[in-house]
């Protein structure tokens, strides 16, 4: 069992583990149907498949720009209500209209007090997705 307390310090040296997390590399979601999920993330959301496919038990995706973490899908028992995956998009309202035109039922877009425009929608396995965009450029 790991004890987190006063002994645990980011950047500790001399026998202690150095805790310098650089970035999130990937997020893995369990999916009941790899075929349905691959078709959703690839064909509907336009993500690029970099490993696996409809007939595989594990598939990996990235955004067209190749930036950010990789999204992995693993065949298995899906678990919803675990949290949400937030996807930044260029135009929240245009993505919302695009999804509605394809028969999906996303929540209506709204402006959040924390400075994002967003809407939520479940993927084929019930994983909550948030499509978002900052309302104003971040302060540098």
> According to CATH, where is 3.30.720.120 located in the chain?
24-75
Task: Name every residue whose Cβ is closer than 8 Å to that of residue 139 and which is 6 or more positions away in sequence.
Answer: none
Q: State which fold the 24-75 domain adopts.
A: 3.30.720
Is 38:54 a contact under the CB 8 Å cutoff? yes
The CATH-assigned architecture of domain 82-140 is 2-Layer Sandwich (3.30)
Q: How many CA atoms lie within 13 A of 93 on its CB side?
A: 3
Instruction: Give per-residue pLDDT as tens, 37-87.
Output: 999 999 999 999 999 999 999 999 999 888 789 999 999 988 877 888 999
> According to CATH, where is 3.30.720.110 located in the chain?
82-140
Tell me if the pTM is above 0.85: no
Beta strands across the sheet bearing 70-75:
26-31, 70-75, 58-62, 48-51
Task: Name every residue whose Cβ is closer than 8 Å to that of residue 78 and which is 6 or more positions away in sequence.
Answer: 29, 30, 31, 32, 125, 126, 127
């Amino acid at each position: 069992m790991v004890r987190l307390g006063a002994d645990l310090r980011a950047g500790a040296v001399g026998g202690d583990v150095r805790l310098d997390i650089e970035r999130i590399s990937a997020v893995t979601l369990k999916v009941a149907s790899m075929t349905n999920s691959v078709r959703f993330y690839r064909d509907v959301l336009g993500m690029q498949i970099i490993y696996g496919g409809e007939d595989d038990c594990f598939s990996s995706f990235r955004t067209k720009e190749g930036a950010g973490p990789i999204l992995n899908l693993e065949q298995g028992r899906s678990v919803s209500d675990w949290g949400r995956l937030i996807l930044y998009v260029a135009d929240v309202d245009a993505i919302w209209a695009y999804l509605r035109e394809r028969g999906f039922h996303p929540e209506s877009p709204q402006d959040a007090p924390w400075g994002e425009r967003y809407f939520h929608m479940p993927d084929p396995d019930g994983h909550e997705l948030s499509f978002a965009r900052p309302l104003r450029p971040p302060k540098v």
